[in-house]
Amino acid sequence: MIDLDANPDLRRLYHIARFRVTLGFAVAALAFWLARPTWATLGSGAVLAVFGEGVRLWAAGYLEKGEEVTCSGPYRLNRHPLYCGTFVIGVGFSVAAASALVATLVLAYLAIMLPVAIRLEEATLRAAFGEEYERYVRGSLTAPGRRFSAARVLRNGEHHALLGFAAALVILGLKVSLGV
């Protein structure tokens, strides 16, 4: 557990992060309202977003949240594959929405919230796992011989993100179909 009283910067980030989900829903609602997708932009954006969701699914299939410093699967290549996938999904949504204002909103939200989440997560991992996490950061932690697990994907709740992702594509598709 991180000691927020000992670090005013982390306390400030924690307060920002508490509004991440609520603000995310507000940004998403505004982005859907402002979106002006076409079939071409929806197709292009969907390809990017599918790639981002694929990265998230891959990561969730290896992650043992709160139990260890996961360093297998995509965690061998990147310390934050879930956040990288989220960023790619955001870029894909921005392309699909075909609106500079939507792109600005979505990318600004991600540019603020993802670094906040990363800093808090890293502080939490350092507090919980100490030297083991530092070895991971240095690239000297050995990955267990773990395989991808769909059960882990479900335990990590990635199916909820997948449903949200599918719903976003359906909503944008309806906007194109209805000419809204």
Query: The domain spanning residue 118 has which CATH number?
Result: 1.20.120
> In the structure, what pLDDT confidence band is assigned to residue 155 with cuts at 50, 70 and 90?
very high
Q: How far apart are CA 103 and CA 97, in angstroms?
A: 8
Q: Which domain holds residue 95?
A: 4-178
Look at residue 1 in the predicted model and tell me its pLDDT. 64
Digit-coded pLDDT (tens) for 72-119: 999 999 999 999 999 999 999 999 999 999 999 999 999 999 999 999
CA–CA distances in Å: residue 163 to residues 54, 56, 72, 100, 174 = 13, 13, 25, 26, 16
Q: How far apart are CA 26 and CA 139, in angstroms?
A: 38
Look at residue 4 in the predicted model and tell me its pLDDT. 65
Q: Supply the pTM of this predicted model.
A: 0.91
Number of domains in the chain: 1
Identity of residue 103: A
Percentage of the chain lying above the pLDDT 70 cut: 98
The CA-based angle 33-35-40, given to 5 degrees, is: 150
